[in-house]
Amino acid sequence: MSLLEKLNPEQLAAVTLPAQSALILAGAGSGKTRVLTTRIAWLIQTGQVSPAGVLAVTFTNKASKEMLSRLSAMLPINTRGMWIGTFHGLCNRFLRAHYRDAALPQTFQILDSADQLSAIKRLLKTLNVDDEKYPPRNLMYFINGAKDQGLRSGAVEANDEYNRRFVELYAAYEDQCQREGVVDFAELLLRTYELLSRNQPLREHYQARFRHILVDEFQDTNDLQYKWLKLMAGPNNAVFAVGDDDQSIYAFRGANVGNMAAFEREFRVQNLIKLEQNYRSHAHILDTANTLIAHNTKRLGKNLRTDAGHGELVRIFEASSDLQESQWIIEQAKSLIAEGSLRSEIAILYRSNAQSRVIEHALFSAGIPYRVYGGQRFFERAEVKNAIAYLQLMDNPHNDSAFMRVVNFPTRGIGAKSLEQLQDAARQYGISLYAAVPYVTGKAGSSLGAFLKLIEGARFETQSLPLPEMVQVVLDRSGLITHYASEKEGADRVENLEQIVSAASLFVSEEGFGHDAPALLGPQAAAPAGPAVIDGEGVEIMDADAPLPAVMSPLSAFLSHASLEAGDNQANAGQDAMQLMTVHSSKGLEFDAVFITGLEEGLFPHENSDKEEGGIEEERRLMYVAITRARRRLFMTFAQTRMLHGQTRFNIKSRFFAELPDEAVKWLSPQVQQHHWFANQPRAAWDDSPQAGANNIAQKFARKELGWRIGESVAHPKFGEGVIVNIEGGGTNARANINFGRHGMKLLDLTIAKLEKIS
């Protein structure tokens, strides 16, 4: 069979282009892997290049392996020696061949991310640097960011004392790596680029060898990768760049979507081919994607089409709460499964990892197996497990596993030697590690004693607090939120920690403990076995002889629930299970049915996108990626209220809904449901505390006299659509806090504000 037999006209034109640089705009589901692989096979088969003369760059090992596998099936050639791989893989191969020129030992070793972080921690310890002031992970991000821009420590500009110290540490890290003969991932590319830059004979050798260079996912290249490609290509080589600027969603990793336009200009591209024939999705899904992405101004432009027919309309569901949203998704999924769909062909996508908690809970309650793709289940995430360990110590201080997990996290100067002394004391007296703390003397005893007082102080402070408030206090007192907030990419981890408060609120509501019930049953609720322990000030820390309570406390019950939810319904390898993932993780995947959840202003698009240049366009590209994952059915959902960061948030729907084609979508619920809001909310959503009584009366008066109520959607001539979050005062003094999404929260006088109800 001919290599070209099953190609459509655009694919055929791309594969058979002359030996000139070309840019292929490959839309989602348009067969770009087939085009890339067939292009290589056609060049070899027609004698334009030998297998050894091809350089093909992919972004994942999976993609390079697939390309090699397809080539082997197309041609009777040995692909083993071909230069097809990721940027890092190819640079490693290059440096192995030229280690002397690169000033590396022949047996240099590569540090993965975990190894790099360990090396940085060791460096800081050697230099006696305060790792609280200069967090190791932040230093790692700083170093890698500089390398991705092609900057050595001597070339990094420092505009303040803090950054100057980071530059000094970067220089010390470079010296340490060189001395030890190791390189990190970013170093692989930077050192290759530097060697090619300064060694003209070597550069010309590779330019002569690789007359044809092919690059996959070109929209994801960063600045240094693009510079590296320009060096490898030289003035005469043909670069076949395949990418989709509409799917550039990794700016936070350094990807520069502008590289595509720069490539077209700098390589004088005469051949720009658009692969617009989609082989994945039905027309209504593609029309939705096309209409949405057309609102981006900085794009090269293309329009996906299909021969698969219109298919079903895209369904949009407006829920009163995130609980109702997740329950509706589960019911729809059950219907799909009953119709014969595989669970593995149903995906639930969300913008933020923290959103998975309420969805996981609904799946857990329904007994539906699921798998979190590209990440961990909510209660299995490291930051969540750290917080749970603190809560376990609050509930049962002699839980040695929990103790060991967090005794020095965040770091508080308790090293391996101190823990060894503690373990010796615990064995000697036959007691728990926690109970053995007072038996450790010296500096180790002081550090361990400070940790013990932290836990006991938190227990005392929270002994009469409800569970959600207790969780919040523990998160604050433990230092976990401060620790993760200091990390460059710690925002998701902080969101996950704050979602534990929301999980506790939901648990209390569902289990009927009552929102005012104290989390702990009393100071004796978790007393460990062994002698009573007295601290240095004569205060009794634990009474080991006190009986355990007969009734499980809300905290104990919540911790049991967390353990069960972490382990139950875990899909085994090969088991048919629903797929949960962030939109970022979904790129490159496809499913029969896709649910895009949480489409609310501030969530999707993310609240930070309005503050960053090009932020909204990247969010729109992210939405485009989410839409084009669906083959046959696409569902979009949003909620009027959502529990985030331990608080109920009133939302307005995402601006992206206004950018969808009316003829391709179907609203499965009225676009405005505010008259059902109170009826559909769980009791927890009401503020009926005594201190809120006066305000509730004022709110009722304002609703009665002026016709407004909390949760109602309104429109303002200047600020657009909003949702009433709170009402203060009454009569002629009635004012309302209104969430206007991108315009933020506004306090308006209800008697004079030009508000209209959205009906």
Residues marked active site are found at 32-33, 216-217, 247, 629
What tokens does 706 get? 């002026």
CB neighbour class for 732 (10 Å; exposed up to 12, middle 13-18, buried from 19): exposed
User: Is the sign of the CA dihedral 500, 502, 508, 514 positive or negative?
Assistant: positive
What tokens does 8 get? 């459509």
Between CA 479 and CA 472 the distance in angstroms is 11
CB neighbour class for 511 (10 Å; exposed up to 12, middle 13-18, buried from 19): middle
Report the DSSP beta bridge partners of residue 220: none
Between CA 316 and CA 258 the distance in angstroms is 33
Helix (H) or strand (E) holding 757: strand 756-757
Between CA 482 and CA 592 the distance in angstroms is 41
Whole-angstrom CA distances from 185 to 114, 190, 192, 252, 492 are 11, 9, 11, 17, 23
Between CA 626 and CA 640 the distance in angstroms is 21
User: Is the sign of the CA dihedral 506, 508, 511, 514 positive or negative?
Assistant: negative
- Look at phi and psi of residue 315 and say left if phi exceeds 0, alpha if psi is from -120 to 50, else beta: beta
Q: Residue 163: what residue type?
A: N
Residues 6+ apart with CB under 8 A from 588: none
User: Is the sign of the CA dihedral 190, 193, 199, 202 positive or negative?
Assistant: positive
**What is the maximum span of the chain, computed from C-alpha positions, in angstroms?**
89
Residue appearing with tokens 């057309």: 294
Q: What is the phi/psi pair of residue 544, to 5°?
A: -70, -20
Whole-angstrom CA distances from 747 to 600, 642, 648, 694, 754 are 21, 21, 18, 19, 13
Helix (H) or strand (E) holding 321: strand 314-321
Q: Residue 190: what residue type?
A: L
Between CA 703 and CA 605 the distance in angstroms is 31
Give, as one character, the DSSP assignment of residue 664: G
Between CA 597 and CA 315 the distance in angstroms is 12
- Nearest residue to 329 (alpha-carbon basis) of 370, 369, 359, 373: 359
The three-class DSSP label of residue 470 is: helix
| Angle, helix 223-233 to helix 258-266, in steps of 10 degrees | 20
- Look at phi and psi of residue 601 and say left if phi exceeds 0, alpha if psi is from -120 to 50, else beta: beta
Chain-centre distance for alpha carbon 180: 34
- Is beta strand 647-650 parallel, antiparallel or unpaired with respect to 630-644? antiparallel
